[in-house]
A and B are shown apart, each in its own frame.
Chain A
Amino acid sequence: MTCLPGKTDKALGLVIDLDTCVGCQACVTACKGWNDQGYGAPLSDQNPYGAEPSGTFLNRVHSYQVQPDAAAPMIVNFPRSCLHCADAPCVTVCPTGASYKRAEDGIVLVNEDACIGCGLCAWACPYGAREMDADAGVMKKCTLCVDRIYNDTLPEVDREPACVRTCPTGARHFGDLADPTSAVSQLVAARAGYDLMPEQATRPTNKYLPPRQKDRPDQASLLAPLLDIKATGFAGWLDRVLGKI
């Protein structure tokens, strides 16, 4: 079970556009809301109104500053959840088989009924995608909303992850990354989507789209269109301008 299935029929995953994510945290609470009542144990909160609240979240949005050498500094918002790695180390370390990668679609799941809460899989994940629920004592992680995407009690359009459905800017995309013709694969190809920490050899399924080139270089050529009227004095100006009608 904790052996990886090798090649999966599909590689379902997310493509996250860092050029568009405004860091609104909508995907964070949509994920919490959905998973609080869905797959497995609820996502508990400790001390919810206390001095040191803490709780289980399957998706967290960070924010980084990037300071290029010769351009304006940037802020990049950065959602982080399970990447459903092809070579998922979290799966192979699991002693109980609770952690597994589905052969049919590559989704990495925890079977909570079998999880002993040893925490080893969370150690093995380089991306911090697993959180042990303090109430239930089982490992929680992004399920890729497996209970939405195939859910035939939901209308067809809604069979996508809760975080994707809610993202106001459309920065999150869901699809089959094993199929080169899928919209997500094409997006990844067009926008040079990349893997996080490739050196960790996990071969993530999820891809990130880099921020587009920002901020115009200070070049003067853009000014050209503004130079086609030159006149001296207000009357001359008026003449030239109104002469254009």
Chain B
Amino acid sequence: MNQPFVNTSPQVSDEIRQTTCYMCACRCGINVHLKSGRVSYIEGNRDHPINKGVLCAKGASGIMQVTAPSRLRAPLRRVGPRGSGAFEEISWEEALQTAVDWMRPLRDTAPEKLAFFTGRDQSQALTGWWAQAFGTPNYAAHGGFCSVNMAAAGIYTLGGAFWEFGAPDWERSKLFVLFGVAEDHDSNPIKIGIGKMKARGARVIGVNPIRTGYNAVADDWIGITPGTDGLLILSLIHCLLESGKVDLDYLARFTNAAYLVNSTDGPNKGLFVRNAEAQPFVIDRRTGAPAPWEAKGVQPDLGAVWQGHRTVFQHMAERYLASEYAPEAVAERCGVTALRIRQLAAELASVAFDQAVEIAQPWVDFRGDEHATMIGRPVSFHAMRGISAHSNGFQTARALHLLQILLGAVETPGSWRMKPPYPKPVEAHPTPHFVSVPGKPLSGPILGYVRGPEQLALRPDGSPARIDKAYSWENPFSAHGLMHMVIPNAAAGEPYRIDTLFLYMANMAWNSSMNTAQVMQMLTAQESDGSYTIPRIIYSDAYASEMVAYADLILPDTTYLERHDCISMLDRPVSEPDAAGDAIRWPVVELDRDVRGFQSVLLDLGARLGLPGMVNSDGTALYKDYAEYMVNHLRRPGVGPLMGFRGTGAEEGRGAANPAQIARYIENGGFYQAHVPEAASFFKPWNMAYQEWAVEIGLFDTPQPYLFNIWSEPMRRFQLAAEGHGPHQPPDHLRDRLRQAMDPLPLWYAPFGDADERFPIHALTQRPMDMYHSWGSQNAWLRQIRGHNPLFVPTKLWKEHGFHEGDWARVTSANGQITVPVVHMAALNPHTVWTWNAIGKRKGAWALNDGAPEATRGFLLNHLISELLPPKGDGMRYSNSDPVTGQAAWFDLRVRIERVPAPDGGASLPAFGAVPRVVPEGGAK
């Protein structure tokens, strides 16, 4: 038989350029293939530390992002009423001048009247620095509505957090437990890791009301009732303590379990007992006498009682041994049987202690004590928004960290490990700076970690200094700000009015806001004189998102293949537990329209405004563009945005600026890695080899060993204030809440709003792996995969309501109503309904046809959520946020459902009118 000839070796492309993906915040390395200067194919970069060659569905269809008809084409100025979509194209010169004309008077008189908030970017090292130079305290990125609970609980407890800042030891872990994760930022590493673990036959357990994705492949599924993870975890802790299955040696050496807690009534009660140098100390088991916690050879006594003061360990054990945490007591509430809880505890204990791993690697700890080997507990955990997006999320995340600590399962072989620049204790983080002075920069970084009430961002009259009320008594540890409160507060003039709202890469008029309908109203609200309540809105987007229509001035960004970006150690780098790493993006294709990289635009604005650090002494721009900044900017002596190829090109972490740096990154595949020495790769917070290496490469300036915080003193300080101690006192209506929420030991309380019996059902969203928030729908391939979303209903409710295939339901919350199609799902917690996040689109946006399924059938749960809780008895309306951090409590949503006839035309409700088009509808590709 003669077969046709097949050319099995076609030339794939003319050229490959290596850069960093940006269809999400995972930051995978990509090989962009070009044919005649145009992108022809994108694949993963095998050498890249994050993705090791693989790509997700979004990354592999990045080409569709670059050819999307929704791309903005030139700067726009609003000419009609706000929201009417009447824009005119203007030149960049006009656009920048307009922005400067609006901003300069603010800087000269009241810098706080500029509120600068950024969404999904990874340029916070730049944007935060810019805002600081401008002098406004009103700056944050999206972390406040995203997962600040995880970040803050991690930093305050471990000096490191989940997100993408740590990772299980995928090679050695034998048991991996995931709490509330659908996808996460570190999505490819998690997928690679789960794949590896499963190939090795290690066990994966998913704790999640919904069994899809990672939880679908998990060997065990615990379909917990939403909002109760804290209770489950504390019950596991109860079991472990009851049976003595805790790593006492680890607790004594590496945590503050042996610190003494002051038992004397008064302003110091519950703080640590301190010595003359104001240092907490421990009782040395060898002598029974007080000894410095960090002294060589000291053996901290967990059972010590000294002058009536007991150790943290005893306080902790006493609390969690109480019968209220027994599995039998929590089972029903959690929707998990007591037997199952005990089994899980037993499995954790058995893997941690009976299957310990040992690496023949000697190491020396900060006390100078030598360890012949590295012994680890091969139990690892990961958690994300399923825990954090509840109003009890901070304490739940703390509880999970406590569980890890008790098992000795942080920073040990086989367990969960941190990625440089973490570990980094809370003490090594800045405190928030917020006092604005006309014409001056702020005196320090805007975001930080408060240690006590005196560091809250309050004005002399006690009112919040920030527009989002971050670092106020309402949410003292709001380390990432509260992006979800900016528009509501600005619209209400609470705590004050602002002039210009400057947003970057955040679709606040749609899926990123709670209560979409009201936020759209707030954006267009007018005063009696016809002026807008939020007088000016400047927005940078790359695409025709829903938000674009609500801006007054649009600074169109490039797509990710057309600009420089810096994935920096100062920000959210691409480190792995074994290596510090950073990366760049660079223009791999030429621009074909009048848009500019936002970072370059920001630097240009800074220079025009004469902001310190952005201008030469003669007032000219210091940096031509972002690329120049990436190379030349210094944050500390020798430390700049990029760590690799510094100085002569051979210096790592520290060194002078190297003009060839970007070229070297490009040569190296777009990234740089500094490998953690073998002896330094575990026990990092206490391992002197690590501490010295970190200083050497510029992560810190001096070694910073520290102990994990089982008992959180900063929290206790707020509790003390709530109890009436100290000069800084909360408003009375917040005392009870602070007393409860700021408990120095992890605790569980029911999520706010749980009590409303009218709404018995939990309603959740999950991220689809193949879509990134709102911006995946403009991708012609991805939107075929997921162009609309149903509400998934568990068997119990399906039967109760008599649903059939093709039915519709009306879903009602305290805040609103939607009518949507339903689909049955068996592998779902019986009290929970859910849908995919951000699939629903507003008509007219994203260059889609008005009849697009995203706009007709697709829907958002956001219409049912509110940034404020329903009014309380006292008439107060609290924000729908965690009381510790201000994290938006997206997943506290409670609803009821009814079976209803399909709405006319099979379109989900509410159906908002079309948002005016700023780009024409897309035709053929």
Contact = CB atoms under 8 A, between A and B. Distances in A.
B17 to A, nearest CB: 16
Interface in A27-41: 28-30, 32-34, 36-39
A152 to B, nearest CB: 5
Nearest to A46: B924
Contact of A73 (B59, B191, B827): B827
A33 B9 contact: no
Nearest to B190: A168
Given A23-B213, A51-B853, A72-B827, A226 B61 contact: no
A223 interface: yes
B195 A29 contact: no
B519 to A, nearest CB: 26
Q: Is the interface of A mostly helix, strand, loop or mixed?
A: loop
A69 interface: no
Interface string B24-58: 00000000000100001111101000010111111
Interface in A1-46: 1, 3, 5, 19-26, 28-30, 32-34, 36-39, 45
A214 B218 CA distance: 8
Nearest to A242: B303
A70 interface: no
Interface in B158-200: 187-188, 191-192, 194-196, 198-199
Interface stretch (A106-114, A120-128, A193-201): A106-114
A220 B246 CA distance: 21
A55 B347 contact: no
Give the interface size bracket for A toward B: 35 or more
Contact of B9 (A25, A32, A52, A153): A153
A169 B826 CA distance: 25
A56 to B, nearest CB: 10
Given A49-B847, A53-B780, A229 B244 contact: yes
B201 to A, nearest CB: 9
B191 A50 contact: no
Nearest to B349: A225
Interface string B1-15: 111101111111000
B678 interface: no
Nearest to A32: B781
A154 B188 CA distance: 24
Nearest to A42: B925
A93 interface: no
Nearest to B304: A242
B345 interface: yes
B769 A165 contact: no
Interface stretch (B117-125, B127-135, B435-443, B782-790): B782-790
Give the interface size bracket for B toward A: 35 or more
Nearest to A104: B3
A244 B346 contact: no
Interface string B355-396: 000000000000000000000000000000000000000000
Given A26-B54, A48-B925, A238-B303, A65 B826 contact: yes
B211 A73 contact: yes
Given A24-B191, A25-B785, A169-B194, A237 B54 contact: no
Contacts of B59: 26
Interface in A182-206: none
Interface in A213-229: 214-216, 218, 220, 222-229
A73 B795 CA distance: 11
B429 to A, nearest CB: 32
Given A49-B847, A100-B3, A226 B784 contact: no
Contacts of A32: 60-61, 781
Contacts of B923: 49
Which of A26, A65, A212, A245 has most B Cβ within 10 Å? Answer: A26
Contacts of A29: 57-58, 60-61, 770, 781-782
A241 interface: yes
Contacts of A38: 10
B463 interface: no
A147 B813 CA distance: 54
A170 B784 contact: no
Nearest to A1: B1
A154 B10 CA distance: 9
B342 interface: yes
Contact of A229 (B242, B340, B848): B242
B191 A245 contact: no
Given A20-B195, A23-B769, A55 B346 contact: no
Contacts of A150: 8-9
B85 to A, nearest CB: 18
A28 B354 CA distance: 42
Interface in A73-88: 73-77
Nearest to A233: B321
B221 A33 contact: no
Contacts of A26: 54-57, 59-60, 769
A146 interface: yes
Contacts of A34: 41
Contact of B12 (A111, A151, A242): A151
Contact of A218 (B218, B340, B825): B340
17 contacts: A22-B217, A23-B213, A26-B59, A33-B41, A34-B41, A45-B781, A47-B849, A48-B925, A49-B847, A49-B922, A147-B6, A150-B8, A166-B43, A166-B55, A169-B192, A238-B317, A242-B248
